[in-house]
């Protein structure tokens, strides 16, 4: 029997595409026979090479063992549409539309270009400070780095303004300042390390939120967290209609990891916005936990603002700075999923992962020990 696809989980929304029992040779014969029926001339087939798993719009996975096949997919099967990542209720699309509108509204507020002086502190160890004339409320640390060199732009993960305030790389600068760009081999790497773990936590949340079928809606419970001592970044999620006996298989863990790899390969920016309480309520409509946080924080003042980040189509509240983009992440894996029981009889799932910045390198054996350590339950916030 020749299967077109194989179900890897009754709960996840993705399937694995197979070549059937006949293997690559049988598949090639069928493709050639089909082509010969249309035209007697068959051009040399294109070769596709892929390391790891890749998800496409249909929710299929292509395994490396089948990389030598020609993928005769329709155009809609190749393009990853945002619609396939959204739930049927349209909450995701509505929130992203509001985010885009607020982003454009804030950009339109800058009607007059004013210059500010940015002193970039030693972009490289052998260089002196550089004075840049940038645009107020328009130019970002990312733009400052781009004026110096491509290397500096690509490796900078976080900025520090006036020696004290962590600043997102895509956050516009408001005043003249001293600017220091941080990377993962910086003399003081701790600020960027914390930002890296928070960013990985948010990225894992975006993957978990869209990995399950629609009959298993996911609610993210935890904000992006950074816990270096725990040995893993974590995401707490409530998943409806899952049986109490569900424990993710190795194949399912690989599916989560595959989605993470795709986000890293896409090199998506972590986009930042500062919004009012009313806008925040609209962005998180339907999310009871986030609405409660917004209501509690804004109860004392009507002028309270909230910092929100977006990566892909996932939007989250996060007051602390994140790294510039997913392209700064190197190796990343979903290590474990633990079922946690609450005192009131409820349950939620703690997803744990481990990652390494692209700028840092470690031998495979040492990283395998880190991955094994990350499988143990991370107890941050559970006491």
pLDDT at 214: 87
CB neighbour class for 54 (10 Å; exposed up to 12, middle 13-18, buried from 19): middle
Residues 75 and 129 in one domain: no
- Alpha helical stretches, state H, the chain: 23-38, 75-78, 91-108, 141-148, 150-155, 190-211, 250-266, 277-283, 288-298, 364-373
Q: Give the structural domain span for 263.
A: 193-373
Q: What is the pLDDT of residue 31?
A: 56
Report how many domains make up the chain: 3
Residues 210 and 329 in one domain: yes
Q: Say if CB 73 and CB 240 are below 8 A apart.
A: no
Last residue of some domain: 18, 53, 80? 80
Q: Which residues contact 142 (CB under 8 A, 6 or more apart)?
A: 153, 156, 169, 170, 324
Q: What is the pLDDT, as a whole number, of residue 34?
A: 59
C-alpha angle with apex 291: 290 to 292, nearest 5 degrees? 90
Domain containing residue 131: CATH number: 3.10.20.30
Q: Is residue 379 part of a domain?
A: no
Please give the pLDDT value at position 284.
Answer: 95
137 and 231 fall within a common domain: no
What are the structure tokens assigned to 57, written together?
């719009």
Dihedral sign from CA coordinates of 364, 368, 374, 375: positive
Q: Give the list of residues 6+ apart from residue 198 with CB closer than 8 angstroms, or none.
A: 224, 225, 226, 233, 318, 320, 322
Stretches in the chain below the pLDDT threshold 50: 1-5, 17-24, 39-89
> What is the C-alpha to C-alpha distance for residues 12 and 87, in angstroms, rounded to an integer?
14
- For residue 283, tell me if it sits in a domain: yes
Whether residues 169 and 204 fall in one domain? no
Beta carbons within 8 Å of 6's beta carbon, 6+ residues apart: 15, 16, 17, 18
* Owner of token pair 């970044």: 233
Supply the pLDDT for residue 3: 43
Residue 289's pLDDT is 92
The answer to whether residues 170 and 229 belong to one domain is: no
Q: How far is residue 157's CA from residue 166's CA, in Å, rounded to a whole number? A: 11
pTM, full prediction: 0.79
Of 25, 55, 80, the domain-final residue? 80
């Amino acid at each position: 029997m020749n299967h077109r696809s194989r179900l890897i989980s009754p709960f996840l929304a993705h399937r694995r595409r197979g070549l059937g029992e006949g293997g690559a040779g049988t598949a090639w014969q069928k493709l050639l026979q089909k082509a010969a029926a249309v035209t007697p001339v068959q051009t040399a087939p294109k070769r596709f090479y892929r390391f790891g798993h890749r998800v496409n719009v249909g929710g299929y996975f292509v395994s490396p063992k089948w990389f030598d096949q020609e993928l005769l997919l329709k155009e809609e099967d190749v393009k990853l549409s945002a619609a396939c990542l959204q739930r049927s209720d349209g909450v995701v699309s509505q929130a992203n539309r509001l985010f885009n509108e607020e982003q454009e509204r804030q950009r339109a507020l800058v009607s007059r270009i004013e210059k500010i002086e940015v002193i970039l502190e030693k972009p490289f160890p052998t260089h002196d400070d550089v004075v840049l004339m940038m645009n107020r409320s328009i130019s970002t640390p990312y733009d400052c780095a781009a004026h110096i060199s491509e290397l500096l732009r690509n490796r900078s993960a976080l900025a520090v303004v006036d020696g004290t305030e962590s600043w997102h790389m895509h956050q516009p600068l408001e005043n003249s300042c001293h600017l220091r760009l941080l990377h993962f081999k910086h003399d003081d790497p701790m600020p960027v390390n914390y930002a890296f773990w928070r960013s990985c936590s948010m990225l894992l949340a975006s993957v978990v939120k869209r990995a399950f079928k629609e009959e298993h809606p996911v609610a993210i419970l935890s904000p992006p967290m950074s816990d270096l001592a725990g040995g893993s970044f974590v995401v707490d999620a409530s998943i409806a209609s899952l049986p109490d006996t569900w424990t993710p298989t190795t194949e399912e863990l690989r599916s989560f990891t595959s989605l993470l790899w795709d986000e890293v390969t896409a090199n998506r920016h972590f986009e930042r916005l500062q919004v009012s309480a009313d806008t925040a309520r609209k962005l998180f409509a339907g999310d009871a936990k986030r609405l409660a946080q917004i209501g509690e924080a804004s109860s004392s003042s009507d002028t309270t603002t909230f910092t929100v980040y977006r990566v892909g189509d996932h939007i989250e509240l996060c007051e602390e700075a994140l790294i510039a983009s997913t392209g700064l992440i190197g190796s990343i894996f979903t290590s474990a999923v633990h079922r946690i029981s609450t005192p009131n009889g409820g349950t939620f799932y703690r997803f744990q992962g481990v990652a390494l910045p692209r700028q840092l390198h470690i031998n495979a054996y040492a990283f395998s020990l880190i991955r094994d350590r990350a499988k143990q339950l991370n107890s941050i916030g559970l006491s």
